[in-house]
Amino acid sequence: MNIKYTRSFLKWAGGKYKLLPILLDEFPKENIETYYEPFLGSGVVLQNLPSNFKNCVVGDLNSKLIITHQSVKIDPLRIHEELNDWPNTQAHYNHLRNVFNTYHQNDKYCPFHLASIFIWLNRTGFHGLYRQNRDGKLNTSYGHYKFKYLDILKSLNIVSTKYNRLNPQFICGPYDKILESTQSGDFVYLDPPYLPRNSTANFTAYLTTFGYREHKILRTFVDTLNKKGVKFLLSNSYTPETIELYKEYEIKAIDTKHTINIKTNRNVKEILVKNY
Ligand SMILES: C[S@@+](CC[C@H](N)C(=O)[O-])C[C@H]1O[C@@H](n2cnc3c(N)ncnc32)[C@H](O)[C@@H]1O
């Protein structure tokens, strides 16, 4: 049977849309009290979550991203109405990027306006990358893509309906904060920024760099989840370092295609690590 998966309204580096069949097949099949996803990105895994999870707690370090997901849940039409009036030109893109860069976490602003700008920049910026300069300003250039207003409206509505059904708790912050309340029997899907397969594969697509040091800290954190009796599934790149880091757990190698960080598509291996 061919299952039709929901696509996110965002393009995201490392987005898991294409891997959903493999990924969801690895998810636990029994009833689980709470699903956790602390590296939410485009939200596409949450948007296709099977029905055996009673509650969901999700988050990301990128607070503007989380505000965008929350706003889509509450009022997708309001977001679309704003987008609908914007011309798809380089000048307007640059203007919105300047506005976006003036938003700071503790400012008072309209979350729907921020969400509209976030989605616009994501869909019309180069490869949907979230690339920042040293001062933390988004500097992704204009991508010269079509903005498919009607497709976006459809996607926002579908995702909003899913979010209202799942009613996730959205948290802005680092993964250890998002996972603070995990309890024995809960399930966590971890999709951190991957350890680069080689130095030239390193690219800035997110808010922070997540290098070998951060992956070692994450492994220690995963060990504490394991000791607590929390089930976890983790995605990462297939490298000698990641395999060494997780050698005490079950590791599966999978073939996939990355399209966002390399010029030509080629099969690259990833790993899935789990403790159940
Ligand atoms: C590989 S992407 C997740 C992609 C997502 N699974 C999807 O399908 O779209 C990794 C995400 O981790 C977030 N991130 C980076 N460092 C983080 C941290 N320390 N805590 C929580 N989230 C973090 C990034 O903002 C990015 O959205």
Domains of the chain, earliest start first: 20-60+173-274 (3.40.50.150), 67-162 (1.10.1020.10)
List own/partner pairs for 205-212 with CB under 8 A and 24 or more apart: 205/13, 205/14, 205/129, 205/130, 205/131, 205/260, 205/261, 206/13, 206/61, 206/62, 206/130, 207/61, 207/62, 207/130, 207/132, 208/61, 212/241
Q: How far is the CA of 30 from the centre of ligand 1 (A)?
A: 26
How long a stretch of residues is the chain? 276
Q: How far is the CA of 260 from the centre of ligand 1 (A)?
A: 15
| pLDDT for residue 113 | 95
Closest ligand 1 atom, CA of 37?
A: 6
Mean per-residue pLDDT pooled into runs of 10, the chain (276 residues) = 87 94 96 98 98 98 96 97 93 96 82 96 93 89 90 96 98 97 98 79 60 94 98 95 96 73 60 96
| pLDDT for residue 262 | 41
DSSP string, the chain: --PPPPPPSS--TT--GGGHHHHHHHS--S-EEEEEESS-TT-HHHHT--TTEEEEEEEES-HHHHHHHHHHHH-HHHHHHHHHT----HHHHHHHHHHHHT--TTS---HHHHHHHHHHHHHHBGGG---B-TTS-B-PPB------HHHHHHHHHHHHHHHHHH-PEEEES-HHHHTTT--TT-EEEE-PPPPPSSGGG----SSS---HHHHHHHHHHHHHHHHHT-EEEEEEE--HHHHHHTTTSEEEEEEEE--SSSSS--EEEEEEEE--
CA distance 189 to 39: 8
User: What tokens does 118 get?
Assistant: 């976030």
Closest ligand 1 atom, CA of 176?
A: 20
| pLDDT for residue 266 | 58
Q: What are phi and psi of 169, to 5 degrees?
A: -90, 120
pTM exceeding 0.95: no
Pocket of ligand 1 contains residue 14 by CB under 6 Å: yes
Q: How far is the CA of 43 from the centre of ligand 1 (A)?
A: 10
Q: How far is the CA of 40 from the centre of ligand 1 (A)?
A: 6
User: What tokens does 132 get?
Assistant: 């920042």
Pocket of ligand 1 contains residue 123 by CB under 6 Å: no
| pLDDT for residue 256 | 73
Pocket of ligand 1 contains residue 36 by CB under 6 Å: no
| pLDDT for residue 260 | 45
| pLDDT for residue 108 | 80
Q: How far is the CA of 142 from the centre of ligand 1 (A)?
A: 23
Pocket of ligand 1 contains residue 128 by CB under 6 Å: no
| pLDDT for residue 269 | 87
Counting residues of the chain whose pLDDT is more than 90, the rounded percentage is 78
| pLDDT for residue 132 | 87
Pocket of ligand 1 contains residue 270 by CB under 6 Å: no
